[in-house]
């Protein structure tokens, strides 16, 4: 496989590509590097490759002409990749796909990057090696070359190595041990020394599952899991962000379609569906708030039917869901209740289907913001009935969560659907 490395620092690659298995692969002719020094294609006495950006701003840019000439000099470039933090992430799946190519050209940026018109001139695919900024594309190119080349047949000497590693099956890899089997009392797990290959395989799979759940729960949704895997995962303890999340459904004060402050009736359907979400996602609790006495009595009657009355016998699952529900006068009473239970004052986040266009409004809260809060504190997420929460409730919240489907103009969801979507985005399956 031929890597054409387009860079202003070709010497950068000397040591990494001469060491270890990569050095051997070069010797064996499995991998070849073609260093294309952009400076050779620069004009003028100074051979300058950079210039100031139009529109001002800090730093310099790599000029178009030397870059274009450098690319034109490559006879057989194959796919052209440019290392850039703006690119699609380099993943194991992408590395595997690239390993099927004969030639790959890698463009390494420097300074603030490269004149954007290079992308108009060549079919360039941008690749990022992570959500951080490096000084130049060379370090990223080393990562890409390593990830791709080691998947070539014969690179590692044994063909199955690439299959067993982290991310190959969507999971992190299991731990490895070598001699001595006892190092200062730290003993290699018994199963690895017993020689029972079935047991070793089972142990390794379980270790992979456990470390993925603990260290990278975000990759679990994409992993291919058997029923046995899931049964095992269920036995493990995990971070349960849900226990810190409380939801409230506010029936007063909310607004009607004319923007007037009103009270809305309690509905059976909202109580059922929201309590089921609260139970399914292991939430701390669900508060239905209304100051109207007959509405509170109606809600209590419903709850009693399902928790203690005939409903509890016919459907004990529903009784379990309703055990999460409390009926209070207002949001302040819910906040106090959470404080009493947890010893911590909850952070208050409001929800709305509308963008907050008030003057000097803060940017909307993201799901990542609220997830961070959940890691250390109880959070009360307030949902509105009618046409949404009244201004006085919004004003009490620390922030308003970005509306669901904020990029489209129609997002009229029932509050029950909104609760399910928002809670799922915050907690998902892996927490
Ligand atoms: C200082 S960076 C330029 C960063 C650019 N101004 C930005 O904010 O996106 C210089 C060069 O380093 C490379 N680079 C930096 N971070 C990278 C990353 N995370 N992945 C891939 N390449 C990266 C790119 O080739 C980039 O053109």
CA of 58 from ligand 1 middle (Å) equals 15
Residue nearest to atom 18 of ligand 1 (CA): 85
What's the rounded mean pLDDT across residues 413-431?
97
Please give the class, per CATH, of domain 182-235: mainly alpha
Residues in contact with ligand 1 by the CB-under-6-Å rule are 83-86, 108-110, 112-113, 128-130, 132-137, 140
The whole-angstrom separation of Cα 241 and Cα 139 is: 36
Can you give the pLDDT at residue 169? Answer: 82
Domain with CATH 1.10.1270.20 in the chain: 182-235
CATH number of 2-161: 3.40.1280.10
Residues 353 and 402: their CA atoms lie apart, in Å, by 8
Average pLDDT for the chain:
96
pLDDT of 410 over the 70 cut: yes
Q: Omega of the bond prior to 180 within 30 degrees of 0, cis?
A: yes
Q: Cα(129) to centroid of ligand 1, in Å?
A: 9
Residues of the chain with CATH 3.40.1280.10: 2-161, 241-427
131: annotated binding-site residue? yes
Residue 51 has phi, psi (to 5 degrees) of: -155, 170
Write the CB contacts of 131 (distance below 8 Å, at least 6 apart in sequence).
Answer: 85
Class of domain 241-427: alpha beta
Given pLDDT bands bounded at 50, 70 and 90, which one contains residue 162? low
242 is in an annotated binding site: no
The DSSP letter of residue 389 is B
How many other C-beta atoms lie within 10 A of the C-beta of residue 271? 23
Query: Which segment of 157-171, 197-211, 282-296, 356-370 scores lowest on mean pLDDT?
Result: 157-171
Please give the model's pTM, rounded to 2 decimal places.
0.91
């Amino acid at each position: 496989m031929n890597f054409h490395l387009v860079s202003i620092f070709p010497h950068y690659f000397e040591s990494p590509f001469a060491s270890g298995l990569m050095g051997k692969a070069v010797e064996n002719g499995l991998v070849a590097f073609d260093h294309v020094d952009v400076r050779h294609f620069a004009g003028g006495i100074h051979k300058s490759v950079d210039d100031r950006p139009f529109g001002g701003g800090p730093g310099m840019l790599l000029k178009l002409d030397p870059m274009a000439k450098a690319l034109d000099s490559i006879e057989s470039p194959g796919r052209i990749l440019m290392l850039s933090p703006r690119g699609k992430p380099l993943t194991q799946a992408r590395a595997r796909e690239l390993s099927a190519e004969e030639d790959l050209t890698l463009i390494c940026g420097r300074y603030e990057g490269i004149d954007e018109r290079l992308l108009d001139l060549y079919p360039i695919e941008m690749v990022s090696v992570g959500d951080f900024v490096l000084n130049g594309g060379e370090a990223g190119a080393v990562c890409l070359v390593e990830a791709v080349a080691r998947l070539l047949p014969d690179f590692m000497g044994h063909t199955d190595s690439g299959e067993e590693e982290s991310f190959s099956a969507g999971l992190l890899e299991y731990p490895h041990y070598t001699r001595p089997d006892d190092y200062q009392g730290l003993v290699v797990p018994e199963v690895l020394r017993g020689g029972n290959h079935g047991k070793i395989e089972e142990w390794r799979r379980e270790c992979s599952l456990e470390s993925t759940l603990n260290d990278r729960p975000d990759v679990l949704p994409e992993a291919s899991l058997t029923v046995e895997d899931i049964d095992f995962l269920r036995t493990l303890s995990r971070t349960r962000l849900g226990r810190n999340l409380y939801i409230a459904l506010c029936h007063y004060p909310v607004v009607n379609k004319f923007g007037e402050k009103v009270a809305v009736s309690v509905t059976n359907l909202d109580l059922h569906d929201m309590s089921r979400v609260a139970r399914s996602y292991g939430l701390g609790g669900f508060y239905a708030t209304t100051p109207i006495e007959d509405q509170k009595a109606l809600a209590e009657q419903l709850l009693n039917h399902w928790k203690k009355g005939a409903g509890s016998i016919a459907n004990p699952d529903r009784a379990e869901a309703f055990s999460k529900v409390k009926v209070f006068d207002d949001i302040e009473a819910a906040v106090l209740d959470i404080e009493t239970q947890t010893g911590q004052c909850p952070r208050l986040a409001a929800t709305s289907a509308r963008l907050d266009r008030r003057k000097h409004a803060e940017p909307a809260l993201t799901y990542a913001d609220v997830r961070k809060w959940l890691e250390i504190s109880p959070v009360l997420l307030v949902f509105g009935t009618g046409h949404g929460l009244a201004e006085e409730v919004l004003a009490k919240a620390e922030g308003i969560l970005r509306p669901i489907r904020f990029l489209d103009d129609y997002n009229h969801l029932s509050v029950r659907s909104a609760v399910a979507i928002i809670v799922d985005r915050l907690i998902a399956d892996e927490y």
